[in-house]
Amino acid sequence: MIGHGFMGAAHSVGWRQAPAAFDLPDSVEMAVLVGRNAAAASAAAAKWGWAESATDWREVIARDDIDIVDIVTPGDSHAEIAIAALEAGKHVLCEKPLANSVAEASAMDVAAQLAAGRGVRSMVGFTYRRVPAVTLLRDLVASGAVGEVRQVRAAYRQDWLVDENEPLAWRLQKEHAGSGALGDIGAHIIDLAQFVTGQSVDSVTGVVETLVKQRPLPQSGPGSSGLSGVAGAGFGDVTVDDLALFTGRLSSRALASFEATRFATGRKNQLTIEVSGDRGALAFDLEDLNSLQLYDRTAPDDRQGFTRILVTEPVHPYVSGWWPAGHLLGYEHGFSHQAKDFVEAIVRGEDPRPSFADGLGVQRVLDAVEQSSARDSAWVSVTEPALLT
């Protein structure tokens, strides 16, 4: 695993728990964690169960005993590491968003396609696809539970930047993060909208806004912290967006609305998606991640209303690997499901999803939203949308 911190912790839990929860077709060894600071990498490796640590990712991907490279670094290094790893014959799992630009994501997709021809697999980490309730939502939409999809509403709301004294972090610097709320959390809701409907976002109109233009520099210098830190002396420019609001036209011509914000006061990590059709509707809220809301328009008039489905039965996606019905799962379980699916695809010799092509498709939507905002919210076509299943 290259990188650590918040996502490194989450991925580590996933790699550690997947072999225990599921009957994987091959064994998994958490061999080495890579970080720029030797002491920090060593401490993280010891804490999260990695056999050793290192500081040079190039040396690590050249090792014969490494089969999989898991990339959890900031977006500005995704392309370089992923392409090098694929060319070295390593299977690659890369955190979202796939890259910081369409050009980088395109190069990664080309490398992934060439590697696939040699039996080398790649996947992008849109982990919320693997929350059991979200996977079930996708399955229900595909089965016709809502009928013809007419409208999608998706939002990801956080409030960790409401305090204007929150120090400048790498996530607030375009050269490291690519974009702000749009790319970091907006990428998730774009992917979910496409995943659960099986459609692509073909055109967008929207606006992005930076609400706080400058922030205090952290004590150890800009870019040292991903989510929070301690303020030092002086101020630095925020070069990414804080808030993105946009509308998308799906491939069926249905409309989807999106909100990605770090300024939703009181909302810590609220991701919601609702799909409305001519026969019914389905809704999911990450703050109630073990359930779905289902509305069936074909039910008798005296039984109309949203019904809560508790997604903890063994027949539900992924749940059979865990606890008896009614015993709830949490945020970390999606990373175990991600590890499970990736290992199983590698052993089967299949390309896992979401692919780098899917990641490129999301990157094109992100780029189109930024273009639209720069053109007074004009409608912008999303070129070459990824094929979705």
Q: Quick one: three-class SS letters along the chain? A: CECCCHHHHHHHHHHHHHHHHCCCCCCCCCCEEECCCHHHHHHHHHHHCCCEEECCHHHHHCCCCCCEEEECCCHHHHHHHHHHHHHCCCEEEEECCCCCCHHHHHHHHHHHHHHHCCCCCEEEECHHHHCHHHHHHHHHHHCCCCCCEEEEEEEEECCCCCCCCCCCCHHHCHHHHCCCHHHHHHHHHHHHHHHHHCCCEEEEEEEEECCCCEEEEECCCCCCCCCCCCEEEEEEECCCCCEEEEEEEECCCCEEEEEEECCCCCCCCEEEEEEEECCEEEEEEHHHCCEEEEEECCCCHHHCCCEEEECCCCCCCCHHHCCCCCCCCCCCHHHHHHHHHHHHHHHHCCCCCCCHHHHHHHHHHHHHHHHHHHCCCCCEECCCCCCCC
pLDDT at 177: 86
Average pLDDT, 10 consecutive residues per value, the chain (389 residues): 96 98 97 98 98 98 98 96 98 97 97 98 98 98 98 97 93 91 97 98 98 90 50 85 97 98 97 98 98 97 96 98 97 98 98 98 97 97 60
290, 312 contact by CB (below 8 A): yes
pLDDT at 222: 46
Query: CATH number of the domain at 128-352, out of 3.30.1330.10, 3.40.50.2300, 3.30.360.10, 3.40.50.720?
Result: 3.30.360.10
122, 105 contact by CB (below 8 A): no
**What architecture does CATH give domain 6-127?**
3-Layer(aba) Sandwich (3.40)
Maximum Cα–Cα distance for the chain, whole Å?
A: 66
pLDDT at 317: 98
pTM: 0.94
pLDDT at 388: 41
pLDDT at 233: 72
What is the rounded distance in angstroms from the CA atom of residue 180 to the CA atom of residue 241?
A: 5
CB-neighbour burial class of residue 308 (10 A; exposed 0-12, middle 13-18, buried 19+): exposed
What are the extents of the domains in the chain? 6-127, 128-352
Cα dihedral 94→97→98→101 (10° resolution): -150
* Residue whose tokens read 């999106």: 258
Omega cis (within 30) before 354: yes
